Amino acid sequence: MSPVIKEFRLPDLGEGLTESEIVAWHVAVGDTVELNQVIADVETAKAVVELPSPYAGVVAKLHEQPGTVVEVGSPIVSFDVPGSGGHSTNSPDASADTNDDDAPPAKREPNLVGYGAAVEKTGRPARRARRSSGAAEPARAAEPVGAPVMAEAPQPSVPAEAQLERPRSTPPVRKLARDLGIDLTALNGSGPQGLITREDVLAAQGGSGQEGSGEQGSDRGVQPAETGGAPASRMSGERETRTPIKGVRKHTAAAMVASAFTAPHVTEFLTVDVTASMDLLARLKTSRAFADVRITPLVLVAKALCIALDRNPTLNSRWDEAAQEIVQHHYVNLGIAAATPRGLVVPNIRDAHTLGLRELADALKGLTETARAGKTSPADLSGGTISITNVGVFGIDAGTPILNPGEAAILAMGSVRKMPWEYQNEVALRQVMTLSLSFDHRLVDGEQGSRFLADIGTILSDPGMVLTMV
């Protein structure tokens, strides 16, 4: 039967988002694609996600160029699909026919985006490795973001044995390569199983490879890039640079403005002698039970916060304006503010209150590595009940953090410094940290916030005091 044109519209990728940016296409006009093959990287207000094809067929048209912000429901790509019932079913949230068959549709099975092509009797198709034609477009990987996508005449499909595996890398790394004009197919990845890393791309450009994508939620956070000489001047050339407000920056700005002008913020500070906690960290690093676990000050602060919340539950609540109710959470989804190449995100650890110190350390490690790689899903960025931001990794002592929308409190932990401190009626050199707690004064009274902060300080100054609190 003759092919049918299927139009794929941008779906809602979660959390009711209304628009997304096309970061990159992995297919071109004329390419043959399989069901669930990744065809594009799409950036929502919260994360970069890989968009799979709901059809098996040939790419007929790319409606949008990389760098374009597209509203949900707008067409982004059209496919020529076989006219038989097996491959002509639309995705309900996205597609429209220009030549529908009269035959009744076959039973549909869910694919990676809504419902797509029907499945043969052999079962649901498995997701295949992403492929691109090495002969058809050898320079596509080096195409800069925002470059026009030129319409091409349909090309004959390339036999499977002639197709090349697309270089393995994460979406932020692929975007960096495009920005720098680096061809990923020419690189050998230094990561696990040949994964091409950010450092590989920077090395190919001749950079130092030290421009880190660190995380604010770990003590390995973003540090100033170390260079052999003086930093290049940014005061030459163009008088100014204009960057569109979109993606994570746009979402963060809107959320912070809404929070700052909706919730009446109060911030309290407490400077604590954490020498005992730092001594505990040193002992844990030599303990067999924690030999393969990375325990950091952030892990101890996170555990202390969870214990203090059990004694001060008002800090773990939210204000429901529509229902005119205060919602008390009986679980802790702990948000960790993370500085990533895409901007600030706050993924959270589900049910953090149920985790022991070792499990909490593992969860924090996985969370920050995923955030740095740009793989945090929208679901992991929602549902938090309280947050921590680690400004100490930047050498900062204290601050006045703004609440994550929908949360009653956020704790900022400063850097650990050796300072003269009163200890046992004498002045001694001790390790000291400042804690900054911002809370919503509609939900939390000053006494409640103060007791919560004091409990965290007590645990960090003398970890043994936990026995008196649980």
* Same domain for 408 and 269: yes
Give the tens place of pLDDT for each residue, 187-196.
Answer: 888 876 677 8
Tell me the residue type at 39: I
Q: State phi, psi for 309 to the nearest 5 degrees.
A: -65, -35
* Active-site residue, from 87, 330, 353, 441: 441
Statement: residue 159 has pLDDT above 50:
no
We report the CATH number of the domain holding residue 343 as 3.30.559.10
Enter the tokens of residue 417: 């410094």
Domain of 255 in residue numbering reads as 247-468
User: Is 353 inside any structural domain?
Assistant: yes
127, 158, 189 — which closes off a domain?
Answer: 158
Residue 79 lies in a domain: yes
Instruction: State the pLDDT at residue 78.
Output: 94
- Residue after which a domain boundary falls, among 98, 129, 158: 158
The tally of domains found in the chain comes to 2
Assign 3-class secondary structure to 440-451: ECCCCCHHHHHH
Within 8 A by CB and 6+ apart from 121, the residues are none
pLDDT score at 143 = 33
Whether residue 251 sits in one domain with residue 137: no
**Greater confidence, 339 or 398?**
398
pLDDT at position 421, please?
96
457 close to 438: Cβ distance less than 8 angstroms: no
Asked if 246 and 69 count as a contact pair (C-beta separation under 8 A), the reply is yes
- Which pLDDT does position 234 carry in this prediction? 58
Same domain, 321 and 460: yes
**Full DSSP string of 404-434:** PTT-SEEEEE---EEEEEEETTEEEEEEEEE
Residue 193 lies in a domain: no
Residue-wise pLDDT tens digits, 88-125: 334 434 334 444 444 444 444 444 444 333 334 344 43
Q: Say yes or no: 133 and 251 in one domain.
A: no
Tell me what the mean pLDDT of segment 234-255 comes to: 73
- Look at residue 347 and tell me if it is in a domain: yes
In this prediction, what percent of the chain has a pLDDT beyond 90? 43
- Could you tell me which residue, 35 or 199, shows the higher pLDDT? 35
Give the model's pLDDT for residue 16: 60
CATH number of the domain enclosing 81: 2.40.50.100
295 and 417 in a single domain? The answer is yes
Active site residue 251: no
Q: Please, are residues 114 and 94 in contact by the beta-carbon 8 Å criterion?
A: yes
In a domain, 337, yes or no: yes
122 within a domain of the structure (yes/no): yes
**Would 291 be classed as within a structural domain?**
yes
* Confidence bin at 253 (pLDDT 50/70/90): confident
Pair 461, 300: CB distance under 8 Å: no
Q: Are residues 110 and 254 in the same domain?
A: no
Asked whether residue 171 is assigned to any structural domain, the reply reads: no
Picking from 98, 125, 158, the residue at the C-terminal end of a domain is: 158
Domain co-membership, 136 together with 255: no
Q: Residue 304 has what pLDDT? A: 97
